[in-house]
Amino acid sequence: MAEAMVTVENLRKTFGNVVAVDSISFKVHRGEILGLLGPNGAGKTTTMRILTCYIAPDSGTAKVAGADITDDPLEVKRHIGYLPENAPVYTEMSVKEYLRFMADVRGCKGSARKERIEWVVEHCGLQPKYLATIGTLSKGYRQRVGLAQAMIHDPDLLILDEPTSGLDPRQIIEIRDLIREIGKTKTVFLSTHIMQEVEAICSRSVIIHKGKLVADGKPDELRTAAAGASRVVARIKAPPEELRGELGRLQGAGEVSVEAAEGAAAGGAVWCDCRISFQKGMDPEEGGERIFALVRDRGWSLRRLQFERISMEDVFLQLTREGAA
């Protein structure tokens, strides 16, 4: 197992009567791109602000590169590059001026300063806008500038809060590609509520809900652990209510969804789009065989039968549904 870059133990933070972070524990190892997931208000940003020493926890501990956030916050900050949801840039400065300023703030001097600026400009794709005023840049380029300032001092850990929030599809792809590239040499810890983001760039995910940690693992592990780890999709011509009941009685079947064509006569056979989740560990092809046999035995018609892997969105909704803890 790689060395832990971040260690969080029983972290708790309240704001009045609201428990924002409720005794969570996890580790982030060197070389990981970890996604911190959760609905709005789950505690993602609060967790990041604690780790970056912007706010103090009520109880619990956290360490970054071995430095304690309470005992040695300055040392913690030396190891961290932080990009909040709204990039902290000075719009009246040019990109060149701003990066020079941030390099000075971070203590980069002499030839090292020049080399770090050249490196972040190249790796963040800022060459075309290097002399431009930041206020004239698109949000996508401002995010690039924000990433550049977070990396200017060559930190061990990048903490990114909703790095693609508010971007258009092309900008989202560009920023994801950039994060993926950064993750080859750095540890990246990012928050998001976009499941496609997790599947696109994260090697591991931590899901929190109402301040509590509800899942921790690689995306494939979380999908496998979720109830209904496989799903069969079928289009069947049959009486909808009868079909729904028969599918629900199949061995190993879990959640069943049957959507009939509009305007169908009551009790008559119509084309229905069906989704049937099967118990975890069950081969979806086995479920497909049972559906085929049911249709054959009942004299119904089958137009479509395919297997669908459960998505991270399904896992997320299952773990963060109303009432889940």
Query: Which element (helix H / strand E) includes 15?
Result: strand 4-15
| Sheet containing strand 59-64, strands side by side | 18-29, 4-15, 59-64, 67-68
Helices 110-123 and 139-151 cross at an angle (nearest 10°) of: 140
Nearest to 210 by CA among 57, 43, 58: 43
Does the pLDDT at position 208 exceed 80? yes
Q: Does domain 4-225 have CATH number 3.40.50.11810?
A: no
pLDDT at position 325 is 47
Q: What is the pLDDT of residues 224-256, one digit of tens each?
A: 666 555 688 999 999 999 999 999 999 888 889
The chain-wide mean pLDDT, for the chain, equals 87
Q: What is the pLDDT of residues 268-278, one digit of tens each?
A: 889 999 998 88
In the chain, the percentage of residues whose pLDDT exceeds 70 is: 93
Of residues 120 and 2, more confidently modeled: 120
Domain ranges of the chain: 4-225, 230-309
| Residue 81 CA: distances (Å) to CA of 5, 34, 149, 316 | 13, 15, 8, 28
Please, which pLDDT band fits residue 263 given cuts at 50, 70 and 90? low
Count of C-beta atoms within a 10 Å radius of residue 67: 18
> Which is the CATH superfamily of the domain at 230-309?
MTH889-like domain (3.30.70.1340)
3-class secondary-structure state, position 223: helix
pLDDT at position 91 is 93
Q: How far apart are CA 128 and CA 126, in angstroms?
A: 6
pLDDT at position 229 is 56
Nearest to 247 by CA among 257, 262, 261: 257
Q: What is the pLDDT of residues 124-181, one digit of tens each?
A: 889 999 999 999 998 888 988 998 999 999 999 999 988 887 778 887 888 888 888 8
The torsion angles phi and psi of 188, rounded to 5 degrees, stand at -120, 135
